[in-house]
Structure 1
């Protein structure tokens, strides 16, 4: 959007080249933020995503799928959100405001779509001064569609509840794993296996999906007999600590 605005103000610049170059340049400070806030693995995958997007912007020509601007806005938002959501669920992002939204979603209980929509709406309103009110309104429709689809595919499954049934003598070990590797709280209670009659401990905790694979792997290493169930959490009320 910023690149398009610059092209409108300086039409002698090539929009196809400028969008891809500016897309890369604007992502440099964002990737630095992600390096410290979201981890190195996330940054490397995001760099790959940003380079791929930049190449696609440079190579793929502009295509008018429909003469109806409203249809283009709605379905453009759906297709874009689907790509963003799948990228996020793979442990990366498309860069830009997505990274900032991911940092903020870890500090608040707002959804990814709501945060992203707020940022993009402000930029759209500013761009409306250049392009006119009508185009800005269509863009806002596309952004709203984008936000709802992202929240449906990604944010609704962002926080998950783990229920872990472990051996009684492994309680302290697993407790330390949860506290040290996720920084989240937990609740545990005593239980007894219905088949074996052995004493067990049941641990309840809510974590983020990107913490799931690491934590479950560590728990299974600590207690190979552990039994873990996973449930999606739509919303958390109360203090939810995130790194």
Structure 2
């Protein structure tokens, strides 16, 4: 007889899958926090630059009084944890606690690296530090994580006062930077502003990637021809919107298609070839999800009524 092996029941399989997802999530979480802490201690502290949010305030306190940044950052977050407990979901609170604890531990655990100046040029420091911190932040955000701090204030302000999260972040950072002018001087503050911008851009690139997408609105007298060519030649899906001309009042079909940046030039030439008088609006599409973008490309069959072209 062949030995029999226990077959996992569906519930057990779901639990194992869920556990794997949680492990991967928190590994990403930890790696992101570690990279952010590394950026601060390897590049920023030596030049008295500031990071954003609560970490920036903890750094300013370190420059003034010498208190450990990690411990200070965690203590500054304690009242915010209470606010999260009162007003936010349990998941958000748990993620904020874990993120803040990891970041604080890594921040103090890598503090010995700040005793050596690795890059003397302040601008290069801004570029390297901002890029590295942005990559770390993106790893945290990609798994829906949070390191607490101003994120909590931002979500609460958004929930109760309809103030944008970015606005809350800006106000908080503006207050910290204004205080820093007195304690660290103008030059480090100006470099810190450059660093904020670079960190923001690096986060966006790490989140979205370099393969930018464009959404294209097409108003044309030849909608059916262009629709078929987009499907067969560009291999992109297309949506038909119903509209009307503001001057003529006549009904129109408006075509909407999202393409990768490398496909945009070909699409525009295709439109010009079919209808040189077409009105085309091209916009950035920052977050695109679905087939052909976050899922693998698939072959789109010819539109109904068309014969497939053979080479």
The TM-score bracket by the shorter chain reads: 0.5 to 0.7
1:39 aligns with 2:89: yes
Residue among 66, 70, 73 paired with 2:126: 73
Deviations 1:49-73 (A, max 9, x none): 1111111111112153311111212
Distance 1:134 1:79, change over 3 A: same
Aligned to 1:2: 57
CA distance in 2, matches of 1:92, 1:86: 9
What TM-score do the two structures reach when normalised by structure 1? Answer: 0.53
Distance 1:32 1:152, change over 3 A: farther
- The answer to whether the 8 Å contact 1:114/1:147 transfers is no
Deviations 1:70-102 (A, max 9, x none): 121222122212222321232221121122234
- The answer to whether the 8 Å contact 2:135/2:203 transfers is yes
Give the deviation of 1:45 after TM superposition.
Answer: 1.8
Distance 1:82 1:232, change over 3 A: same
- The answer to whether the 8 Å contact 2:150/2:168 transfers is no
Residue among 71, 78, 88 paired with 1:28: 78
Task: Work out the number of aligned pairs and report it.
Answer: 154
- The answer to whether the 8 Å contact 2:133/2:199 transfers is yes
1:64 aligns with 2:106: no
1:149 aligns with 2:184: no
Distance 1:109 1:22, change over 3 A: closer
Listed as ranges, the gaps of 5+ residues in structure 2 are 1-55, 210-285, 289-311
CA distance in 2, matches of 1:109, 1:5: 26
Deviations 1:22-73 (A, max 9, x none): 1111111112222344311121122111111111111112153311111212
**Aligned positions of 1:64-213 closer than 5 A:** 64-104=117-157, 108=162, 110=164, 113=166, 115-151=168-204
CA distance in 1, matches of 2:152, 2:207: 14
| SS of alignment partner, residue 70 of structure 1 | helix
CA distance in 2, matches of 1:117, 1:148: 15
Distance 1:102 1:108, change over 3 A: same
Give the deviation of 1:125 after TM superposition.
Answer: 2.0
Q: Which of 1 and 2 has greater Rg?
A: 2
- The answer to whether the 8 Å contact 1:74/1:142 transfers is yes
CA distance in 2, matches of 1:73, 1:38: 34
What TM-score do the two structures reach when normalised by structure 2? Answer: 0.43
Give the deviation of 1:128 after TM superposition.
Answer: 1.2
- The answer to whether the 8 Å contact 1:117/1:144 transfers is no
Listed as ranges, the gaps of 5+ residues in structure 1 are 157-230, 234-243
| SS of alignment partner, residue 139 of structure 2 | helix
| SS of alignment partner, residue 93 of structure 1 | coil
- The answer to whether the 8 Å contact 2:154/2:168 transfers is yes
Distance 1:65 1:37, change over 3 A: farther
Distance 1:38 1:3, change over 3 A: same
RMSD (Å) for aligned C-alpha atoms: 3.1
